[in-house]
Amino acid sequence: MTEAFVAALSAIVGDDHCLTDPSLRASYETDWTRRFRGDALAVVRPGSADEVARILLACVDAGIGVVPQGGNTGLVGGSVPRGGEVVLSLLRLNEIGEVERGAGEVTVGAGATLAAVQGAARGAGWEVGVDLGARDSATIGGMVATNAGGVNVVRHGSMRSRLLGFEAVRVDGTIIQRLPGMPKDNTGYDLGGLLAGSEGTLAIITRVRLRLVPRLRNRAVCVIGFADAASAVAAASELRRRLASVLALELFTDAGLDLIMRHASLAAPFVVRPPVYLLIEVASSDVDPTDTLFAALGTLAVDESLVAVATDSGGRHRLWELRERHTEVMNAEGVPHKLDVSVPLARYAELVERVPVAVAAVDSDARTIVYGHVGDGNLHVNVLGPASEDEAVDDAVLELVLELGGSVSAEHGIGVAKVAWLVRDRGVETVAAMRAIKAAWDPTGILNPGVVFER
Ligand code: FAD
Ligand code: 2HG
Ligand code: ZN
């Protein structure tokens, strides 16, 4: 039966795009952090929505699970097999349509990388409006499927806010489409909005229409040091209130900076090493935002020796590296436990202070490093030390987050990493409503089994 099933998949996509050899499958079977992996029955790489439809029909018929995969940069284990599924790689659907200059819109294949779409948008005087460190590999389809956030949510919102239209394939082989999209479109249910954040459990996204944002050519980046998280959060809040030009508001700590300096060979921004750092980027399409940034900084009680500003592109990039390279250096240190959480801003500083204590209470040898998008109340808690399968520290962190009235997943999704926490966070009734949607869209449960919901 397996041989006949694989032969049927090969007949749909061609032998070159149906991978069964373990060495060819390997890179599709392990996630970016190396914490999650599983063997795939096969990896298939369709070249069209029509091929996706035929693959789904074959999998439903055989009762085989399907794991959709874009750039495989997801951090919650949702993009790799648990064991025995077909990995459906969307990377070949990478066409980028012409950017409509007047409307500031573009339709792209699900497999187009963020960096490629950013390049096309910029060439036409626009920006995607969503940016994240995995831009060279993360795909637009994967970003919609996870409702990716990133560093510009404070200004432009997350991926769902940029979504104007979509094409998706359902498990019954039908292709549903709303392209081209329109900014105002209240004709029935917002199915694109539903697919955003569905993590491959409802349908396969094959094309996306994006609403672009104006290109912001005038920029400045500033890193400020603080004595504690509470003062950094208060400053972030004040800067956001005063400056319409805020594009990013990020936080990191000296423990993370230490790893950056060691693994990425970068220099600290100041001679003195304060415990907490705030990075702010301001940007404008028409005026230089630097003067208003300085004026706003003047109203804060910040120590001038703990302020670094860059307006040229090289200097801005160097300051950004101090924040953006955290994910990479965590991986260089080990296999991290990643807890991507958010709390109401009023509890953010408390979370930063209490989370290492909560981790130490269950594992005194574990190292806790935090960083995140403070402008969105989103903190990335990375814990190094405990074995991958030991979830005691994960539980301790998520318990604290719920106590503080937060969310167990801010921007990365539930994946397989947090399935046990969905009901705790959202409640039985809400999860039942979600399961009703899942049952209607995927009655036999072949789409990403074990992701979002406990089996
Ligand atoms: P994958 O990892 O391949 O898949 C992610 C999920 O989407 C899986 O559940 C998969 O089954 C599903 N999926 C993928 N494609 C489709 C499709 N076409 N149709 C249906 N389902 C699909 N995330 C943020 O939100 N903000 C950040 O700032 C951020 N920074 C990152 C920095 C680094 C260095 C890394 C490694 C990751 C970062 N991430 C961030 C996480 C990751 O990049 C995002 O989750 C991204 O959206 C995943 O895109 P992908 O194409 O790699 O998807
Ligand atoms: C980031 O903001 C990403 O850098 C990755 O969302 C977070 O490494 C992480 O935990
Ligand atoms: Zn993030």
Assess whether pLDDT exceeds 90 at residue 420: yes
pTM above 0.85, yes or no: yes
372 CA → ligand 2 middle, Å: 7
Give me the pLDDT at residue 143, please.
99
Per-residue pLDDT, averaged over 44-68, amounts to: 98
CA distances, 347 to each of 231, 352, 384, 405 (Å): 13, 9, 24, 8
Give me the pLDDT at residue 272, please.
95
324 CA → ligand 3 middle, Å: 9
Give me the pLDDT at residue 79, please.
98
372 CA → ligand 3 middle, Å: 6
CA gyration radius for the chain? 22
CB contact set of 220 (below 8 Å; sequence gap of 6+): 281, 282, 283, 288, 289, 290, 293, 309, 310, 311, 316
347 CB within 6 A, ligand 2: no
pLDDT for 318-337, tens place per residue? Answer: 999 999 999 999 999 999 99
Q: Among 31, 32, 33, 69, which residue has the most ligand 1 atoms within 8 Å of its CB, making it the best to mutate?
A: 69
**pLDDT level of residue 171 (50, 70, 90 thresholds):** very high
Sheet holding 18-19, edge to edge: 18-19, 40-44, 85-89, 66-69
Domains 218-327 and 334-416 share a fold: yes
CB contact set of 301 (below 8 Å; sequence gap of 6+): none
Q: Are 176 and 191 in contact (CB under 8 A)?
A: yes
Quickly tell me which residue has 């229409």 as its tokens.
209
325 CB within 6 A, ligand 2: no
- Measured from the CA of 382, which atom of ligand 2 is nearest? 10
pLDDT for 264-305, tens place per residue? Answer: 999 999 999 999 999 999 999 999 999 999 999 999 989 999
Quickly tell me which residue has 């167990």 as its tokens.
408
Per-residue pLDDT, averaged over 344-360, amounts to: 98
3 CA → ligand 1 middle, Å: 31
Question: How far, in Å, CA of 206 to CA of 50, rounded?
Answer: 10
33 CA → ligand 3 middle, Å: 14
- Measured from the CA of 137, which atom of ligand 1 is nearest? 52
358 CA → ligand 3 middle, Å: 21
133 CB within 6 A, ligand 2: yes
Assess whether pLDDT exceeds 80 at residue 43: yes
Percent pLDDT > 70 in the chain is: 100
Q: Are 33 and 336 in contact (CB under 8 A)?
A: yes
**Helix 290-299 and helix 229-242, axial crossing angle in degrees, nearest 10:** 130
Per-residue pLDDT, averaged over 349-364, amounts to: 98
CA-nearest residue for atom 9, ligand 2, is 327
CA neighbor of 438 nearest in space, from 421, 425, 455, 424:
455
CA-nearest residue for atom 14, ligand 1, is 142
- Measured from the CA of 373, which atom of ligand 2 is nearest? 2
Give me the pLDDT at residue 323, please.
98
- Measured from the CA of 151, which atom of ligand 1 is nearest? 28
10 CA → ligand 2 middle, Å: 37
Assess whether pLDDT exceeds 80 at residue 1: no
- Measured from the CA of 143, which atom of ligand 1 is nearest? 47
Residue 61 tokens read as 């018929």
Can you give the residue ranges of every domain in the chain?
Answer: 2-89, 105-214, 218-327, 334-416
- What secondary structure, in 3-state letters, does the chain show? CHHHHHHHHHHHHCHHHEECCHHHHHHHHECCCCCCECCEEEEECCCCHHHHHHHHHHHHHHCCCEEEECCCCCCCCCCCCCCCEEEEECCCCCCECCCECCCCEEEEECCCEHHHHHHHHHHCCEECCCCCCCCCCCEHHHHHHCCCCCCCHHHHCCHHHHEEEEEEECCCCCEEEECCCCCCCCCCCCHHHHHCCCCCCCCEEEEEEEECEECCCEEEEEEEEECCHHHHHHHHHHHHHHCCCEEEEEEEEHHHHHHHHHHHCCCCCCCCCCCEEEEEEEEECCCCCHHHHHHHHHHCCCCHHHEEEECCHHHHHHHHHHHHCHHHHHHHHCCCEEEEEECCHHHHHHHHHHHHHHHHHHCCCCEEEEEEEHHHCEEEEEEECCCCCCCHHHHHHHHHHHHCCCECCCCCCCCCCCHHHHHHHHCHHHHHHHHHHHHHHCCCCCECCCCCCCC
Quickly tell me which residue has 């500031």 as its tokens.
104
What CATH number belongs to 105-214? 3.30.465.10
380 CB within 6 A, ligand 2: yes
Give me the pLDDT at residue 181, please.
78
Phi and psi for 149 in degrees, rounded to 5? -105, -95
Residue 418 tokens read as 């947090």
CA neighbor of 69 nearest in space, from 108, 29, 107, 34:
29
Per-residue pLDDT, averaged over 43-69, amounts to: 98
The ligand whose atoms approach the alpha carbon of 450 most closely is: 1
CB contact set of 184 (below 8 Å; sequence gap of 6+): none
CA-nearest residue for atom 6, ligand 2, is 150
Q: Does domain 218-327 sit in CATH 3.30.70.2190?
A: yes
**pLDDT level of residue 349 (50, 70, 90 thresholds):** very high
Give me the pLDDT at residue 173, please.
98
CA-nearest residue for atom 10, ligand 2, is 380
357 CA → ligand 1 middle, Å: 30
Give me the pLDDT at residue 301, please.
84
Assess whether pLDDT exceeds 90 at residue 92: yes
Question: How far, in Å, CA of 176 to CA of 316, rounded?
Answer: 42
Q: Which residues form ligand 1's pocket by a CB distance below 6 Å?
A: 32, 67-75, 78-79, 90, 110, 132-134, 137-139, 141-143, 145-146, 148-150, 199-200, 204-205, 327, 411-412, 448, 451
The ligand whose atoms approach the alpha carbon of 75 most closely is: 1
Query: Which CATH number is 334-416's, of 3.40.50.510, 3.40.50.1370, 3.30.70.3000, 3.30.70.2740?
Result: 3.30.70.2740
Assess whether pLDDT exceeds 90 at residue 263: yes
What is the assigned CATH class of domain 2-89? alpha beta
CA distances, 86 to each of 15, 82, 341, 374, 377 (Å): 15, 10, 30, 38, 36
The ligand whose atoms approach the alpha carbon of 159 most closely is: 1
Give me the pLDDT at residue 125, please.
96
* Identity of the amino acid at 152: N
**pLDDT level of residue 180 (50, 70, 90 thresholds):** confident
